[in-house]
Structure 1
Amino acid sequence: MPRPVWSGAISFGLVTIPIKVLPATENHSIRFHQYHLEDMARVRTKKMCEIEDREVSNAEIGKGYEVSKDTIVEITDQELAALPLPTAKAIEISAFVPYESIDPIRIGEGYYLQGDGQVAAKPYVLLRKALERSSKAAVAKFAWHGRERLGLLRVQDDVILLHAMKWDDEVRSPESLAPRQVDLDDSEIDEAVHLIESMATDSIAGQEWATDRYTAALEDLIAAKAEGKEPPEAPAEEASGGKLVDLMSALEQSVRKAEAARGGSGEDATVHDLPKKRGAKKAAAKKTTAKRATAKRATAKKATTKKTSAARKTTAKKRGA
């Protein structure tokens, strides 16, 4: 379980629930360093003082706001923590609304809320059950990272989740983006609905298309270059069979393709394996990190036979996982 990112309380009415906030998602993207192409040396960012013309440490760096060109106001962490906001130490619930009434474009990062100690157990379960029974979500305000934010509390698998939300003025209007009015036949709309039904599924979980193919391909690329091999080639694209005549033709062909992929009528949909456990992803990430350490040496000169053999074993284990 990850470390808490914030500790405080949930407040609604006169009820207070001590909680810890934990990230609900993970990022498995592969990260790169910057290198000088000529000699493959690391390129690093230095924090320099403009007046003294020297690098400064994090301990010497503070926050400041530029009021004017010649005036900067220093703001300390202690002053930020002491701001007179009720939401500085509490997630303050303002109202309860139907979850379906929230525009998804306003919903951001998700966090798990964990009761902090035995004193939190009863009011935590009380709020969770009340949200479930009422079929409502709670709209709240909280202050993190130098700003007050809007939040949404909902229930999933007996745990209360907090989603950061956008304020009204942070969502741009889409009015100018809508296409001009076009003529559509009912038959075209019906065929589009047919296509949607043929591609419908009850859940994203376990679907073979709900996987990160980019990261897997990137891992293969890194492994190949670490062994001094040529990068894998992209598979040849299937022939399109010529240009589609019109929109209706495109819809009809799409429906036939979707139904064929799901077993004819769609009633006998393909059953997919469940997604790999997080532990497997973490193990793959560790293997990728180990390969990064050899990538620099592989670019400068060929690896020895012993190192190449070890890298091949590592790659074989990763692909077999």
Structure 2
Amino acid sequence: MAKPVWKGTLTFGLVSLPVALYPATESHTVRFHQLQRGTTDRVRQRRVNERTGEEVPFEDVVKGYELTEGQYVVVEPAELEEVSPGRSRTIEISGFADPAEIDPVFFDKTYYLGPADPAAAKVYQLLVEALAHSHRAGIAVFSMRGREYLTAVDSADGLLELHTMHWADELRDPQQEVPGLPARRKDFNRTELATAEQLIGMLAVDWRPDDYHDTYGERVRALVEAKADGRATTPSAGAEPEATGAGELMDALRRSLDQARGSGRRRAESEKAAEDLSSLSKAELYRRAAALGVPHRSTMTRDQLQYALQAAARPRRNLKRAS
């Protein structure tokens, strides 16, 4: 169970609610240490004076703001501490906005907000439901770890979530940052536009985050495991897709539609087969599993038998071993 990273009071109007802030996400990035090649010696980072090459003790390090090249304003840690916002004890909601009107680029990190006092359960639940029914999020500014944050407090699945956001002046202007950005046009070929919209409709999905996973992280872990076991690794990269030219656009859209229709038929057949299996008894599922030679079927529950049969019915990908 995670420990709260902040405790304080959430206020809206004259209502006060003691809350605790918990991290909503965690990174599963594979971590490596730096080693000197050919040894198991760790390589450490040091604070080094770039002019003398000598290591500088931590207590002798100050912060410098560069005015012009080579000219700095030096700021001591104690001076920064004096102007630091400190650790605020209050998240004061100043207004309620429609989250749909907030551009996703503003959002940075998400935390869970839980009640810090069991006696506050009613007030907590009231705010959860009121935000859900009104489709609004509370906008607040609060301080944590020496920084001031613009935040949105929202309701999701019966709990409060706090989203830290970027300040308006932190957003970059895409017109200045993205070279070659084409101007919006309204003279598209109607057939091309209608076909693209049809393709989007056919590829529409329900958002299920469990359907997506970090394939690069999985490959890195597989690489580490293979090297630990002394097995050879033969990574291969797929061909880089070529850009679609303007004259090839309609053909690419039509072929994409044909591909989507084929995938849709296979998905519908799979769903129909799953529905047919759901109506069968455990004995009938067992007989089908025996006919297909499903291993360990005698120890399976009804749901496990159904899942095994569905897995057996899925088309297998022909994976070619890299040479």
Same structural fold, with TM-score higher than 0.5 when normalized by the shorter chain:
yes
1:224 Cα deviation from its structure 2 partner: 1.1
**CA contact 2:62–2:74 (8 Å) conserved in 1:** no
Does residue 198 of structure 2 align to residue 179 of structure 1?
A: no
**CA contact 2:153–2:163 (8 Å) conserved in 1:** yes
SS of residue paired to 2:162: strand
- Tell me the residue number matched to 1:218: 220
Q: What is the alpha-carbon distance in structure 1 between the residues aligned to residue 240 and residue 78 of structure 2? A: 60
* Residues 64-102 of structure 1: CA deviation (Å, up to 9, x unaligned): 566984743332897577x4x8x8211111110112111
CA 1:41–1:262 in 2, change beyond 3 Å: closer, same or farther? farther
Q: What is the alpha-carbon distance in structure 2 between the residues aligned to residue 136 and residue 70 of structure 1? A: 44
**CA contact 1:62–1:74 (8 Å) conserved in 2:** no
Give the counterpart letter for 1:74 in structure 2: P
CA 1:77–1:121 in 2, change beyond 3 Å: closer, same or farther? farther
Give the counterpart letter for 1:12 in structure 2: F
CA 1:19–1:218 in 2, change beyond 3 Å: closer, same or farther? same
Q: What is the alpha-carbon distance in structure 1 between the residues aligned to residue 264 and residue 238 of structure 2? A: 23
1:175 Cα deviation from its structure 2 partner: 3.3
Give the counterpart letter for 1:189 in structure 2: L
Q: What is the alpha-carbon distance in structure 1 between the residues aligned to residue 99 and residue 73 of structure 2? A: 49
The structure number with the bigger radius of gyration is 2
CA 1:94–1:61 in 2, change beyond 3 Å: closer, same or farther? farther
Aligned-CA RMSD value: 3.5
**CA contact 2:64–2:73 (8 Å) conserved in 1:** no
Structure number with higher relative contact order (C-alpha < 8 Å, ≥ 6 residues apart)? 1
SS of residue paired to 2:201: helix
Q: What is the alpha-carbon distance in structure 1 between the residues aligned to residue 249 and residue 241 of structure 2? A: 19
Q: What is the alpha-carbon distance in structure 2 between the residues aligned to residue 159 and residue 63 of structure 1? A: 42
What's the TM-score once normalised by structure 2's chain length? Answer: 0.70
SS of residue paired to 1:203: coil
* Residues 30-79 of structure 1: CA deviation (Å, up to 9, x unaligned): 0111111243421011346899x55747xx58875669847433328975
Q: What is the alpha-carbon distance in structure 1 between the residues aligned to residue 80 and residue 61 of structure 2? A: 9
The aligned runs of 1:70-85 (5 Å cut-off) are: 71-75=74-78, 79=82, 83=85
- Tell me the residue number matched to 1:253: 255
* Residues 115-136 of structure 1: CA deviation (Å, up to 9, x unaligned): 0012322221121121122121
Aligned residues: 262
Q: What is the alpha-carbon distance in structure 1 between the residues aligned to residue 141 and residue 55 of structure 2? A: 42
The aligned runs of 1:1-321 (5 Å cut-off) are: 1-47=1-47, 56=57, 60=59, 69=72, 71-75=74-78, 79=82, 83=85, 88-176=88-176, 177=178, 178-180=181-183, 183-207=187-211, 210-234=212-236, 246-263=248-265
* Residues 7-45 of structure 1: CA deviation (Å, up to 9, x unaligned): 111111221111111011111110111111243421011
Q: What is the alpha-carbon distance in structure 2 between the residues aligned to residue 244 and residue 267 of structure 1? A: 33
SS of residue paired to 1:17: strand
What's the TM-score once normalised by structure 1's chain length? Answer: 0.70
Give the counterpart letter for 2:92 in structure 1: E
